[in-house]
Amino acid sequence: MALGAEGLSAVITAMQKCVDSKDRACINWNLRRDEPFPGYLGDVRISRSGKAERPIFINTIRDKRLEMVLKVY
């Protein structure tokens, strides 16, 4: 659960840096800036190529069940 929360935090941080929070290109660029995102297990970086230092999970809760949406590694 904690790893999913840190993934969501990374996405929200990237969205907040964009003028239009729905601008996918801007969000993608901000995620891949190679700047560290704070995580529960330490800072995480995603390189320009899209590779993360360690896996990052983005989850959702659907029908009271946790489901993985995306894994970046």
What band does 68 get if pLDDT is binned at 50, 70 and 90?
A: confident
Q: Where are the beta strands (DSSP E) in the chain?
A: 56-62, 65-72
Residue 26 has pLDDT above 80, yes or no: yes
- For residue 4, count other CB atoms closer than 10 A to its CB: 19
8 Å CB contact between 17 and 68:
no
The pTM assigned to this predicted structure is: 0.69
Answer yes or no: is pLDDT of 5 > 70: yes
**Interval 37-62: pLDDT, tens:** 877 778 888 888 888 887 777 777 78
